[in-house]
């Protein structure tokens, strides 16, 4: 043991300050995808179909080409042009239908991807489970609290595998973040803040209406199942996220990614206990039901989480974990961990107001009572950066996790319980916002109070 001298303090202080600029960068290695590294016989492939082949459905079909051991055998969508888009995405002339029940009736389909508007998730997932199919369901899992529990029940009753589609939880960046947190490197984390900020018409869901959109090319009545009847309206069909009949606004679309990532990293396996929201519709006043800015403060038993979505500034999607030993920030495919200097030190601020004699006595006593490790053992405060390789896709990794689970009959990384908890967080945020109240989650009654 070594008693810390004044010179040591100066040396250590200077070292920690000087090293703040130092940065170690580590490139993360992607995991092998399903079936990678060995040939999967055609008879052993998992055969899947995609229900909903709009923007996300096509993205998923394209990403599925990177996953080995699976085969798309059919696609389904209510809008005819999306049949062709799906075939282009999956690079295969698969059969296409408007009627998802035709797909569920096929005995040779093992699994379905459900990438339809949110208000249709429950109906299709419940029917798919009853038909014995495993399901990859896009996020948010549910349109409302009741839908979420109906999906959980259907999956568990049918002994099915379900993956919810917040793909970040399969990202190597999030895996690293979880590893850092569970290693104790951050210390206790009592506060997390996250944002999802955009500044464009596309970011605000003002999508163009395709020129061939009509009642002839779209099965509008089928789209309205589970929603109020109304005359054909292509704006509602293509910009459904703006309307509470079909979507959940910013909370359902974007908070769900932030919450899923935070739950995954911290190992949270429950819905938030309470939520308070503020915000407003300031700019995108096009008849939508939802605000274009929302901030929500969540209570969990052991921490608080503050989320924001703002469609009026391109702030990106940072998530910051504030720990007692360090700060971890994820931004896109990059993770930066900055430890904080937590080495024991005598109190040095208030003693500035002490006479020198008392100050010296205090410092000498502190040194005697706090044997110090050799100053050379002090680790400099050095930030560390981890990045995914260029073109890394967590979308294929998330699908691979699903198809691996289908084959091995094990739980997915984002199963029905996990997906339900994250979705409840979104419903709490909207409840608090629209009712202008503190929304409280009553887990035993499976209901929001406020
Ligand atoms: N994980 C992600 O990052 C991510 C990104 C985008 C969208 N999503 C989710 O994916 C889902 C789809 O979003 P999108 O952007 O592709 O919307 P979209 O409007 O582009 O496509 C949805 C498609 O679903 C079809 N559809 C609706 N009801 C149907 C039914 N009963 N049978 C067959 N097809 C039906 C529609 O015809 C439409 O083509 C949503 O749940 C959304 O939240 C997830």
* Nearest ligand 1 atom, CA 78: 37
Q: What is the pLDDT of residues 308-367, one digit of tens each?
A: 999 999 999 999 999 999 999 999 999 999 999 888 889 999 999 999 999 999 999 999
Q: Residue 414 — left, alpha, or beta (φ > 0 → left; ψ -120 to 50 → alpha)? A: beta
Residue 43 CB partners (closer than 8 Å, separation 6+): none
Residue 309 phi, psi dihedral angles, 5° rounding: -125, 130
This prediction has a pTM of 0.93
Q: Which of 30-44, 285-299, 341-355, 429-443 has the lowest mean pLDDT?
A: 30-44
Whether the bond between 140 and the residue before it is cis, its omega within 30 degrees of 0, is yes
Contact 52, 116 (CB under 8 A): yes
Which tokens is 236 given? 């509602």
Whether the bond between 370 and the residue before it is cis, its omega within 30 degrees of 0, is no
CA angle centred on 176, ends 175 and 182, rounded to 5°? 90
**Cα(146)–Cα(225) distance, rounded to whole angstroms?**
16
Mean pLDDT over 223-232 rounds to 98
Domains of the chain: 6-23+344-377 (no CATH), 42-168 (3.40.50.720)
* Nearest ligand 1 atom, CA 253: 43
222 lines ligand 1 (CB under 6 A): yes
393 lines ligand 1 (CB under 6 A): no
**Cα(7)–Cα(19) distance, rounded to whole angstroms?**
18
Q: What is the pLDDT of residues 194-220, one digit of tens each?
A: 999 999 999 999 999 999 999 999 999
Q: Which of 12-16, 22-26, 31-35, 300-304 has the lowest mean pLDDT?
A: 12-16
* Nearest ligand 1 atom, CA 252: 43
**Cα(387)–Cα(29) distance, rounded to whole angstroms?**
9
Q: Could you identify the residue written with the tokens 């062709």?
A: 84
Q: What is the pLDDT of residues 413-449, one digit of tens each?
A: 999 999 999 999 999 999 999 999 999 999 999 999 9
> pLDDT at residue 119 above 50?
yes
Contact 300, 268 (CB under 8 A): yes
147 lines ligand 1 (CB under 6 A): no
Q: Which of 23-37, 237-251, 300-314, 379-393 has the lowest mean pLDDT?
A: 23-37
Which tokens is 270 given? 């429950």
Which residue has the CA at smallest separation from atom 18 of ligand 1?
A: 54
């Amino acid at each position: 043991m070594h008693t810390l001298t004044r010179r040591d303090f100066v040396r250590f202080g200077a070292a920690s300050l000087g090293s703040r600029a130092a940065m170690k960068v580590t490139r993360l290695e992607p995991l092998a995808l399903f079936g990678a590294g060995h040939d999967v016989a055609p008879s052993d492939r998992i055969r899947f179909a995609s229900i909903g082949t709009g923007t996300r459905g096509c993205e998923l079909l394209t990403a599925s080409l990177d996953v080995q051991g699976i085969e798309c055998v059919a696609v389904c969508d209510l809008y005819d042009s999306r049949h062709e888009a799906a075939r282009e995405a999956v690079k295969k002339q698969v059969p296409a239908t408007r009627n998802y029940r035709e797909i569920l009736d096929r005995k040779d389909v093992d699994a379905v991807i459900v990438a339809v508007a949110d208000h249709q998730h429950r109906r299709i997932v419940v029917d798919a489970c009853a038909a014995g199919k495993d399901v990859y369901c896009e996020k948010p899992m549910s349109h409302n609290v009741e839908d979420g529990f109906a999906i959980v029940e259907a999956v568990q009753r049918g002994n099915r595998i379900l993956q919810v589609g917040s793909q970040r939880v399969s990202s190597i960046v999030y895996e690293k973040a979880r590893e850092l947190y569970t290693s104790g490197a951050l210390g206790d984390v009592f506060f997390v803040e996250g944002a999802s900020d955009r500044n464009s018409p596309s970011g605000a869901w003002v999508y163009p209406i395709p020129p061939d959109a009509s009642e002839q090319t779209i099965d509008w009545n089928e789209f309205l199942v589970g929603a109020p009847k109304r005359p054909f309206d292509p704006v509602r069909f293509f910009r459904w996220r703006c309307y509470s009949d079909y979507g959940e606004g910013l909370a359902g679309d974007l908070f769900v990614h932030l919450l899923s990532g935070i739950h995954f990293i911290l190992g949270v396996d429950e819905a938030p206990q309470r939520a308070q929201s503020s915000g407003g519709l300031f700019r995108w006043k096009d008849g939508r039901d939802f605000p274009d800015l929302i901030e929500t403060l969540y209570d969990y038993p052991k921490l608080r989480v503050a989320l924001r979505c703002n469609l009026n500034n391109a702030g990106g999607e940072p998530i910051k974990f504030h720990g007692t030993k360090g700060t971890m920030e994820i931004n896109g495919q990059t993770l930066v961990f900055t430890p904080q200097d937590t080495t024991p030190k005598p109190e040095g601020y208030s003693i500035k107001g002490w006479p020198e004699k008392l100050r010296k006595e205090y410092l000498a006593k502190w040194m005697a009572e706090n044997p110090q490790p050799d100053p050379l053992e002090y680790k400099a405060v050095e930030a560390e950066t981890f990045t995914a390789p260029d073109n890394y896709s967590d979308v294929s990794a998330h699908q691979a996790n699903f198809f691996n689970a289908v084959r091995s009959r094990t739980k997915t990384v984002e199963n029905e319980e996990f997906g339900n908890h994250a979705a409840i967080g979104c419903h709490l945020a909207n409840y608090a916002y629209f009712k202008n109240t503190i929304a409280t989650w009553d887990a035993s009654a499976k209901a929001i109070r406020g």
